Structure 1
Amino acid sequence: MDDIKYSIIIPCYNSSDTIKRALDSVTQQTYKGRFEVLVVDDCSKDNSQDVIKDYISKTKVCVRLICNEVNCGPGVSRNRAIMQARGSYFAFMDSDDYVDSSLLQKVDDKINSTNAEIIYFGIRQIFGKKVIETHCHPRSSKEDYMALATGSLCMFVSAAFLWNRIELPPISNSEDIAVIPILMSRAKHIDTLEDCLYNYIYYSTSTSSKRSPMVAQNFLTSWRYTLKHIDIIKNHVAIECHGIKTVLFGATLNALKADVDNETIRGYWDVFEKDFPNWYQNKYIASLPTKKRFFLYCVHKNNLWALKLYTKAHDFALKYL
C-alpha cells in the first residue's frame, strides 16, 4: 500500500522557461514525508517535455510525467493526474508559479493538529516588481468559506476523497471555480494558514488575461457545472454569492473586456436573476472588496456605461502594476 501523503499536480503547456523553477520549489520542500509530483504536459510545442525528463533523471523526489496525446486544456490535464495520483491529499500548481519550501510541512502540521480536509493558505501575487501579499484568515463557518472562497485550486490543499466523482470541466479558464464550492460542501472541517505560501506570477499573455468572448462564456459554463453538482437549497446563500462572483462579476467583466454587446451581457444577468431574483440582498456582498461591490452595484442598477469605465480602469491598473 502506498504511503504517499501528498500529490502535487502541475499541468504544463509551453513552460520550458519556468517549469524547472516550479519543480525546484516542490522538490526542495522541508517536509520529510513521502510525496509525489505529477506533471501533465498538454502537447507543448517547445521543449518542455525534454526539460521535465531531464529533471526527473536527476531528482530523488518522485516526479512523474504524463503526456496528453492531444491538447486538452488545464482542466482535463488535472483530471488525468487526479486519476493517477496516489496521495491522500492533493495540491495544485501552475507551471509558471512556485511555492515556498515550507508549504507541505506547514500544511502537514495543520492537518495533524486539526484533521482538516481542506487547508487554505495565503498567496503572494507578483506583478513584475510589484508584490501583493494576501494573507489567509479563518472564517466562522463552512458557509462563509463557500461564499467567499478564492477562485484558484492553487491556494489550498484538499483531501483526495473529496474528489470522488468530480471532474474539472473541459474549459480553458474558470475550471477551478466550478469545483471549489463542491469540494467545500463535502468537507467536514476547513482550516487556514495565514502565511503566503504560494507565489503567483502575473503574465499579460496568460489565459485569464485574454480578451475573448469565450473567456466570459467559460465563466458561465463553470457556473452551470457548479449548479449541476451541488445542493442549491441546502447551500443557497453561499452558492448565490458564488454565482454573483462568477456570473455577475467574472463573466460580465470579461465580456466587457472582449467588447461583447450589451444585449448579450444583459442576457447573462437575466438568466442568473431567474434563479436568484433577490441576489443584491445577499449578506456576503458586504464582505467583498470595495471595487467589486461598486461593480455589482452598477450591475444591480443596470448601468453598463459605468461598468465599461470600470473595465478600462481595471485594465489600466493591471498594465501598470
Structure 2
Amino acid sequence: MDTLLSVIIPTYNDADKIIRCLDSVLNQANRDYYEVIVVNDGSTDETADILKKYKGDILVLNQKNGGVSSARNNGIAHARGRYLWFVDADDSISSNSIDPGLISVLKKNYDMILFGFKKVVGHQSSIVKNNSNMVLFGDDVRSNFVSIFTTNTLNNPCNKMYRKDLIVKNKIKFNDFAVGEDAMFNYEVAPKIKSLCILNTVKYTYYIEKGKKSKSSYQISRDNWKDATSRILFLEEMFQNLNIDINNGVYNRELVSTVYGAELGLPSSGYLAFKNGLKSMGISSVALKIRTRGLNFNFWVKYLLIKHPKLFFTVNSYSRK
C-alpha cells in the first residue's frame, strides 16, 4: 500500500509535551496510509527515552542540534509519503484528522491541501478555518489567493499538507532564519501552487503558552530584525510573482505583525530610547508601507498604536507592570 502522507515532527527538549502529540498522531484510522517521522534535534532531556517507547510505530532521526528548519529538512529528505505534514511536538492533531475523506483527497494529487485548526491560549480557544470545501486550479488559485489567506493562515505550515514532489522538484527548503522560517517556506511554495484543495474541517490543535515567545507573539529582537525585513521583501516578491496587488489584507497584516513585534522588542526604559530604537533599526521606514486594506479590528488597534509611537510606548510600558 502506498504511503500517502508523511507526518514530520521536529522535537527539541519536548519531553513534557511530545507524548500528547505522538498519541494524537498515532491514534488515527487508516494507519497504513501514513508514516510518522520524528526528528530529534539534539534533545538533552528525556525526549530520546520517550521516543524509544514508540519503536516500531515511528521513524526516529537523531541529529545534532541544528534548529527546527534543519530538523524539518531532514524529515523531508527521509519522507516516503506523497504529501508532507509538519506537526510541532508541543501540538496535537484531531482524533479524526486522517479520515477516509482525507485519504480520498490525498489520492488526487493537489499541490496543497489547506484545512482548519484550533488555536488554544490558556483556557480559551478559537477556530481558524474556511467556511466551505472547495478546489481551485490555475488562475483561480491566484484570483482567490488573498481572500483565502486572509481568512486562513498563510505563514504557518501546520494547517497545510504539501505535495512532496512540488517541494523536492523546486528544491524548496526551510531556511535558518531566527524568526519567520515557516513564512519564508510558504512564500516560496505559494507561486508554485497550480491546484489547491480547501477543507473546512479542523485537523490541528495549536497550543500557545504564555511566555513562550516563539509561539505567543511576533516579538522580534534587534538581532533578528534583519531576518524580519528580508521576509517582508520576500513576501513582496511573492505577490509580484503571483501578479497580485501588494495592497491587500495578507500583506498589510504581515506588516502590522512584524512592525508591532519589533516594537515590542525595543527598550522600555524610556521613551527616548524607544524612539531611537525605531529610527536606528529602520522600523519606522517599514511602518510607512502599511495600508489599512484588509485589517480587522485587532489589526486596526495595532496599526493605530504603530502610527502613534508615544501611545504604543505608554500602553506597552503599562502592560509590562
TM-score range, shorter chain: 0.7 to 0.9
CA-to-partner distance for each residue in 1:88-118, whole Å, 9 max, x for gaps? 1111111011001221224333445x75322
For residue 52 of structure 1, give the secondary structure of its aligned residue in structure 2.
helix
Distance in 2 (CA, whole Å) between partners of 1:6 and 1:238 is 34
What are the residue-to-residue correspondences of 1:109-258 with 2, within 5 Å? 109-112=104-107, 115-137=109-131, 141-145=144-148, 149-150=152-153, 151-163=155-167, 164-206=170-212, 207-209=214-216, 213=221, 214=223, 216-226=225-235, 230=238, 232=240, 234-237=242-245, 242-246=250-254, 248-258=255-265
Ranges in structure 2 where 5+ consecutive residues have no aligned partner: 135-142, 268-273
Distance in 2 (CA, whole Å) between partners of 1:314 and 1:36 is 45
> What amino acid sits opposite 2:145 in the alignment?
K
Alignment partner of 1:259 out of 266, 280, 305: 266
For residue 167 of structure 1, give the secondary structure of its aligned residue in structure 2.
coil
1:145 and 1:216, CA in 2 relative to 1: closer, same or farther beyond 3 A?
farther
1:312 CA displacement: 6.5
1:78 CA displacement: 0.8
Alignment partner of 2:302 out of 276, 292, 295: 295
Identity of aligned residues (%): 21
1:24 CA displacement: 1.0
> What amino acid sits opposite 2:275 in the alignment?
N
Does the CA contact (< 8 Å) of 1:216 and 1:252 recur in 2? no
Does the CA contact (< 8 Å) of 1:145 and 1:184 recur in 2? no
Say if 2:103 is the partner of 1:108.
Answer: yes
Alignment partner of 1:280 out of 267, 282, 291: 291
1:239 CA displacement: 8.4
1:310 CA displacement: 6.0
Distance in 1 (CA, whole Å) between partners of 2:152 and 2:230 is 19
Moved more, 261-270 or 18-27: 261-270
Does the CA contact (< 8 Å) of 1:295 and 1:310 recur in 2? no
1:225 and 1:76, CA in 2 relative to 1: closer, same or farther beyond 3 A?
farther
Does the CA contact (< 8 Å) of 2:10 and 2:38 recur in 1? yes
1:56 CA displacement: 1.8
What's the TM-score, normalizing by structure 2? Answer: 0.79
Ranges in structure 1 where 5+ consecutive residues have no aligned partner: 317-321
1:135 and 1:209, CA in 2 relative to 1: closer, same or farther beyond 3 A?
closer
1:38 and 1:311, CA in 2 relative to 1: closer, same or farther beyond 3 A?
farther
> What amino acid sits opposite 2:309 in the alignment?
L
> What amino acid sits opposite 1:109 in the alignment?
S
